[in-house]
Structure 1
């Protein structure tokens, strides 16, 4: 099942690879410290889910879909009409979103902006303002079925806004952890990891590995995905198992700009 959101770097295409590597025996809860668009949680079967992300708008949206699905879907669908699929309307809604402090209103516009904006990007400036440009799609898709499925699946999930250590601090022996952090850059001169309005540094990548190693000592396995570059090759050398993948990864709108790159799945078990 697809996420209701377009999400750069979403994991729908490699969910089966993730599922094959994640140890499940005796594990009842999936923990994701970087839930993103939610594709992994939506496509893996566990009794419970603990889903964390730094992005406050994302977590607010997920909680509203969980708790008010019928109302939210009806209200959100009103944004998806031809009259709103124009740059002027898009930028007006983006301004309204940035000025709003109401979680429900922001969630409606967050879905609209996500589906009408450029190629699944979620980006904020240093002042916290959403700044993704208009996407120029002919007919933006309204994800009614995806929202309904998400709401049903979310009844067994807890969504929390916070740093990834928030998730690791709540682990128990029945958990298994999948981490999809902002990726280490392939080209360090053109790095972009600030989708939630904050950068994710090399030190953060190292801090994540330290959390995984601590969980490993408690018999809680952690799987981490990332670009396969010199930095991550060294970073994950202590992992129990490694798997390399060729994955289509680009934010280019043009198909010829979507090249395959190497990714790594590193398991600490």
Structure 2
């Protein structure tokens, strides 16, 4: 029997929050322990925070998740509504891949699936299975698109990847079906359409991180770049929902001023909000010496106290 304790991200994802969950949990709003609320995650990515929140808080009334990557959001939908079909297709891909005994044959199989993924008009179920297969067999589990919107990450040379983890798929499906989960695809701003004036809302924003250097950019995992203009647009969105008495939010991003003390980009656009740092390990870098511990920013419109007080920053 599959139970929700196994629920966790079903794909590898750059910037995943699994290692930061204990630090983030300590600075969540105190209201979440006592009041029913709607959880909103406009950049859901791999879902580490989503599955943590669903298991941590039984008083979540509704969930709104969104991502600009349609292949990702369609896969969430398939896991929620059709886990049996997805498991069946992934088991077939797993069997075919692992029957190949040499690296060149596995690479050819990977490239064939990647070509079909990019070129063919596939069913949502087939596309989701291919998406998960490519994620587990490509280099570092990256997702990246070229300017034409084609997935272009190279082969990862893995001999025995976990292509089908049915325990995780069924646990994630079970958890998403226990709650009223709405899965959206598009710009983060559309999540505002689900906000009303009666309920408590908690937003967690984990957007594509602003690069710490010109050679460290992993913030364009779809063809539409999330550049500084989009970062400012997100800051404006956060200020807008802060004007509502029932919206609390927390946001993660890179700590640019730790790399360059003169780079106060986030300190400026989120001036007036609570800004603190957490420690994270990052492993996605072509240069091994540049991997390891670094700080990230966590920005909030509240401070943890006996009763959370929303910071009303100037708009």
Give the TM-score taking structure 2 as reference length: 0.80
Equivalence for 1:153 = 175
CA contact (8 A) 2:89 2:126 kept: no
Q: 1:195 to 1:17 in 2, by over 3 A?
A: same
Please report how far the alpha carbon of residue 243 of structure 1 lies from its aligned counterpart in structure 2 after TM superposition.
2.1
> Residue 233 of structure 1 aligns with which residue?
267
Bigger mean CA deviation after superposition, 228-237 or 89-98: 228-237
Shift, 1:201, TM fit: 1.1
Gaps of at least 5 residues in structure 1 are none
Q: Residues 173-207 of structure 1: CA distance to partner in whole angstroms, max 9, x if unpaired?
A: 42100000000110035533110221001111111
Distance 1:113 1:161 in 2: 20
| TM-fit CA distance, 1:257 | 4.9
Match for residue 26 of structure 2?
A: 20
Q: 2:44 aligns with which of 35, 40, 58?
A: 35
Q: Is the 8 A contact 1:27 1:176 kept in 2?
A: no
Contact 1:32–1:177 (Cα < 8 Å) also in 2? yes
Partner Cα separation in structure 1 for residue 270 and residue 206 of structure 2? 14
- Range with bigger deviation, 19-28 or 41-50: 19-28
Number of residues of Structure 1 aligned to a counterpart in Structure 2: 268
- Picking from 143, 158, 178, the partner of 2:165 is 143
Q: CA deviation at 1:222?
A: 1.1
Q: 1:126: how far off?
A: 0.7
- Which whole-Å deviations, capped at 9, do the CAs of 1:226-253 have from their partners, x for residues lacking one? 00112223222221x2220121113147
Distance in 2, Cα, partners of 1:68 & 1:253:
37
Aligned partner of 2:144 in structure 1 is 123
* Contact 1:100–1:106 (8 Å) recurs in 2: no
Residues 171/37 of structure 1: CA separation in 2 closer, same or farther (3 Å cut):
same
Comparing 42-51 with 22-31, greater Cα deviation is found at: 22-31
CA–CA distance in 2 between the matches of 1:78 and 1:154?
25
Query: Alignment partner of 1:8: what SS?
Result: coil
Per the alignment, residue 300 of structure 2 pairs with 267
Matches of 1:112 and 1:199 in 2, distance apart?
Answer: 25
| 1:22 Cα deviation from its structure 2 partner | 2.5
Q: Distance in 2 between matches of 1:189 and 1:234?
A: 24
TM-score normalised by structure 1 residue count: 0.93
Q: CA deviation at 1:158?
A: 1.1
Instruction: Compare 187-196 and 218-227 and name the one that shifted more.
Output: 187-196
Deviation of the 1:77 alpha carbon: 1.6
Partner of 2:248: 221
Alpha-carbon RMSD: 1.8
CA distance in 1, matches of 2:107, 2:287: 20
Q: Is the CA contact (8 Å cut-off) linking 2:40 and 2:204 kept in structure 1?
A: yes
State which structure, 1 or 2, has the greater radius of gyration over its C-alpha atoms: 2
Question: What is the alpha-carbon distance in structure 2 between the residues aligned to residue 65 and residue 32 of structure 1?
Answer: 18
Q: How does 1:1-269 map to 2 (within 5 A)?
A: 1-23=7-29, 24=32, 25-44=34-53, 45=57, 46-81=60-95, 82-83=98-99, 86-102=106-122, 103-141=124-162, 142-155=164-177, 156=179, 157-172=181-196, 173-188=199-214, 190-219=216-245, 220-229=247-256, 230=263, 231-239=265-273, 241-252=274-285, 257-269=290-302
Distance change (3 Å), C-alpha of 1:145 and 1:254: farther
